[in-house]
Amino acid sequence: MLHSRQREGGNGGRFGRFALTVLTAGVMMCASLCVACNGGDAARPALSTEPQRSAPLGVGDVSTGARPAGTTSADGAGGSEGAGGSEGAGQAAAVDPPLTGSGGAASTTVTAAAIDPAGTTGGAPATDGSSGGAETTASGGRALAGQGTTAEGQEDGESGGPRDPAEVKPPLTKVLLLGDSLIATGFGVRLESELDGTPGVVAYRKGKSASGLARPDFFDWMWEAQHQIAAREPDVVIILMGGNDGQDLTSKGRSKRRVRWKSDAWSEAYAARVDELLARTWAPGRTIIWLGLPKMGLGSLERKLALIREIQRARVKTKPGAVYMDTSPHLLNSDGELKVYGTVRGKRRTLRADDGIHFTMAGSDYLAEAILEDVLRSFGYQAPQASEKP
């Protein structure tokens, strides 16, 4: 009897375990079927019903280069060096640094749209500075490289030429402007704009306020001129500097050599520097136009500039392919006195600031327009035929 009960108990235990195994397998099979029926949706997160929004760019539009109003960059303008007075200062668009959009958008480079100089009460661009200038600046109808955010106190002016050189078709004459504040600011900006508005001509500009040939320890024009020449490969180089050179001539680097202003050696040493700059900018087939310093209304400064003009004129005349162009006749009346007013865009405007030295923006416009034909004639400009226009 005991053995019979043990056998029955053993059979019952085996049956129970078998039933449990079958039940477990059934549950697992049902679960698998449920997942398959739902297409795996249980494994995917629910989609948000909130509409997707792309992160905005900081400013402008990448594809068109559009720039919101009031976000221009500046390239040397106005201030005590160049365009003074209350008649405004010259303006230029520039290529801005990369901008990072809000909301986690990727860093995006925005190219400024070109800003044409607009008339102000002084009849000039509303100002702007690597070209480059900068360095820059506004040049008629195209964007330029530049720095800074205000119209006042800019020291450098540099333009960068067309954004896409492939857009400029031959025939093409490349003109490079080099000089001190007169090139860095209003006058240089306007002359560049006038040249750029001439069919078949593209202009570049590098200016540095308070610079010249006297202080290479402050700004080395010998090096900078070669650098700009190599980068631009111009057909024409226009130079205007010397207004700050009526002082001791210093040397660069460890040399302490100094040539005192008004000493017997000064004129010879300064002439050698003019010769060196001409040598570094000259090349076969290239025209160099050295613009003479405009006559000033301050007697003490004008006496210094008279000597500097004389040396520059004499040295330029010895260089084949170089032309010295006197700018003062455009600024004098029939009595040989400085003009106070001039006609700019059909209106009578003041040409100089109260100090008699710096040009107003209207004065910069006036002089740039006055010498344009002489400049074009100096390098034998011929307008391209209609089918050849860039």
**Among 141, 218, 131, residue whose Cα is nearest residue 183:** 131
- Domain range for 241 is 158-381
pLDDT class for 13, splitting at 50, 70, 90?
low
Among 3-12, 41-50, 117-126, 270-279, which stretch is predicted with the lowest mean pLDDT? 117-126
Lowest pLDDT segment from 6-15, 273-282, 370-379, 380-389: 6-15
How many independent structural domains does the chain possess?
A: 1
Q: Is the pLDDT of residue 129 over 60?
A: no
**pLDDT-derived band at 22, boundaries 50, 70, 90:** low
Whether 228 is covered by a domain: the verdict is yes
Domain for residue 15, yes or no?
no
**Overall average pLDDT of the 264-285 stretch:** 97
Q: 330-341: per-residue pLDDT in tens?
A: 999 999 999 999
- Residue 133 inside a domain? The answer is no
For residue 106, being part of any structural domain is answered with: no
Higher per-residue confidence, 355 vs 6: 355
- CATH code assigned at 282: 3.40.50.1110
Confidence of residue 53 (pLDDT cuts 50, 70, 90): very low
Does this model's pTM top 0.85? My answer is no
pLDDT at position 99 is 31
Q: Is the per-residue pLDDT at 265 higher than 80?
A: yes
Does the pLDDT value for residue 352 go beyond 70? Answer: yes
